[in-house]
Amino acid sequence: MTEGQVIVGLEVHCQLDTKSKLFCGCSTDYRSDAPNTHVCPVCLGLPGAMPVLNKRSIEYAIRVAKALNCSVLPESEFSRKNYFYPDLDKAYQITQYDKPLAEGGYLEIESDEGGEKRIRITRIHVEEDPGRLVHKGTTESGKYSLVDYNRAGIPLIEIVSEPDMRSPKEARKFLNKLRATLEYLSVFDSEKEGSLRVDANISIKGSERVEIKNISSYKGVEKALLFEITRQKSLLRRGQKVDRETRHYLEARGVTQSSRSKEQEHDYRYFPEPDLRPLHVQSWVEGIVLPELPDARRERFIAQYGCSLNHARTLTGELRLANFFETVVAADPQGLSTLADTWIADTLIGELNYRTMSIDAVDPAGFTELLTLVKAGTITDKSGIEVLRVMLDQRRNTQPCETPAAIVDRLQVRKGSFAASAHSGAECLPVVDPIRTSIAEVLAEQPAAVEDFRKGKKGAFNFLIGQLMKKTRGCADPGELNRMLTEELTMKEV
């Protein structure tokens, strides 16, 4: 390890996707319900209420332990972590302390240098989620806070890594891989808000370590770490030292801020939870059969469908995407796999990201039909992309969705029909001026895309072309549209 090297370790809290809470029968499906409607004497911490352990949550945690190559310990134990905070109604959290459920595993990620790299897992323990505070107004001007105990008692696992990551990018890859693994195990739903929260430890070799608390989205982790590296390096450059401290990440501003709280482990006065017996669950491990995990699926995609390593990595990096790919190629495994591999991993993901849409919004049958048209040579790749854009826009704007074949006919992009300048259709807009009008209309209707284009986003231009194609009902020559739109956009810039 060289001087100035960045050292990162993560503590990841994941909500387990069980039906009921960790120590009571309250439903975990609280997100769309009114505050304090999923509560009972146990999760409200009323005097005399006794916790009863949810067996399923321990099974789920063992699944994770097994997938992350950890050893489940012969005996683990719940402890009370004592502290007062309004979201913690009992004034203690039931967690695991010196006897966690599992220890000593690893997860493989793609390293910055390429190739696989092992990130060691220190431990996995089970605990309950606290409630949630809702602040009225901003932190500065807020008059009061409300508390919602619906989240109190939701089962969590905390996965603690060794400080094996050497860059914010590696931290992001670790989280992506971990998230995918948890989804493949069917124990976790990343679409649920707040289902994954991260604390990150970061230091520059030779200096003190800083803990960044409560990063509420996995996407915030890379940004928080990048900010912290810049801050720490600039302190060191000026001959100052980095304090060992806890900082909070302020997502909206993209900065970390020193926390006033200075609790240390011994302040929590941990002691074994007297209302719960120690756990002896090592024997469960053998009986738990794991499904196919991301690495195995990636290798299978390469072997079975001839995907490139990069495409296979992208496709299997998300459970929903991998399932979508296999649904599409199932129609014609020999014929479609090569095409589907590139079309999904490159084209479709790009178009979805541009529209901030998820893969769930795409109908596999329609997409398969589109690929079949491209494969049969009915349309070119380029026309195929135009058709795809129309399909996605219709879905996004909740318009009636046409079939790819209907869009092909409407845009007149069938090979040999010479789309572009075919002005025979009665509906078509024939001359240049109406196209200028359409461009002006589209630019007025899509100020955000124009703005994106100015910021250098290439996708924005393609999106505007897509909108224009729609408006001109495919009757204009795409080359001509390209030229005219470029002209309009650059003219407006001056």
- The CB density around residue 262, as the number of other CB atoms within 10 Å, is 8
Residue nearer to Zn ion on the CB measure, 36 or 347: 36
Residue nearer to Zn ion on the CB measure, 26 or 475: 26
Dihedral of CA 444/447/449/451: which sign?
positive
Q: How far is the CB of 472 from Zn ion (least distance, A)?
A: 59
Residue nearer to Zn ion on the CB measure, 43 or 336: 43
Residue nearer to Zn ion on the CB measure, 131 or 366: 131
Residue nearer to Zn ion on the CB measure, 40 or 489: 40
Q: How far is the CB of 21 from Zn ion (least distance, A)?
A: 5
Q: How far is the CB of 42 from Zn ion (least distance, A)?
A: 5
Q: How far is the CB of 29 from Zn ion (least distance, A)?
A: 13
Q: Which part of the chain contacts Zn ion (CB under 5 A), choosing from 17-25, 115-123, 273-281, 426-434?
A: 17-25
Q: How far is the CB of 188 from Zn ion (least distance, A)?
A: 21
Q: How far is the CB of 153 from Zn ion (least distance, A)?
A: 6
Count of residues near Zn ion by CB under 5 A: 5
Both structure tokens of 395? 């879905």
Both structure tokens of 399? 């318009």
Q: How far is the CB of 295 from Zn ion (least distance, A)?
A: 38
Give the closest residue to 313 by CA, choosing from 108, 168, 164: 108
442 binds Zn ion (CB under 5 A): no
Residue nearer to Zn ion on the CB measure, 42 or 420: 42
Q: How far is the CB of 319 from Zn ion (least distance, A)?
A: 30
User: Using H for helix, E for strand and C for coil, what is the string for 388-450?
Assistant: HHHHHHHHHCCCCCCCHHHHHHHHCCCCCCCCCCCCCCCCCCCCHHHHHHHHHHHHHHCHHHH
329 to 348: interface string for Zn ion, x by CB under 5 A: --------------------
Q: Which part of the chain contacts Zn ion (CB under 5 A), choosing from 19-27, 158-166, 173-181, 223-231?
A: 19-27
Q: How far is the CB of 94 from Zn ion (least distance, A)?
A: 13
Residue nearer to Zn ion on the CB measure, 131 or 294: 131
Q: How far is the CB of 25 from Zn ion (least distance, A)?
A: 7
Site for Zn ion in 90-149 (CB under 5 A): none
Residue nearer to Zn ion on the CB measure, 43 or 61: 43
Residue nearer to Zn ion on the CB measure, 42 or 340: 42
Q: Which part of the chain contacts Zn ion (CB under 5 A), choosing from 22-30, 192-200, 318-326, 377-385?
A: 22-30
Please classify residue 353 by burial: count the beta carbons closer than 10 Å to its beta carbon, then call 0-12 exposed, 13-18 middle and 19+ buried.
Answer: exposed
Residue nearer to Zn ion on the CB measure, 44 or 293: 44
Site for Zn ion in 24-53 (CB under 5 A): 24, 26, 40, 42-43
Q: How far is the CB of 56 from Zn ion (least distance, A)?
A: 15
Residue nearer to Zn ion on the CB measure, 26 or 379: 26
Residue nearer to Zn ion on the CB measure, 15 or 181: 15
Residue nearer to Zn ion on the CB measure, 38 or 248: 38
Q: What angle do CA 19, 21, 27 make, to 5 degrees?
A: 50
Q: How far is the CB of 155 from Zn ion (least distance, A)?
A: 12
For 428, phi then psi, to 5°, come to: -70, 150
d(CA 13, CA 61): 12
Q: How far is the CB of 39 from Zn ion (least distance, A)?
A: 6
Q: Which part of the chain contacts Zn ion (CB under 5 A), choosing from 21-29, 134-142, 265-273, 462-470?
A: 21-29
Q: Name the site residues for Zn ion (rule: CB under 5 A).
A: 24, 26, 40, 42-43
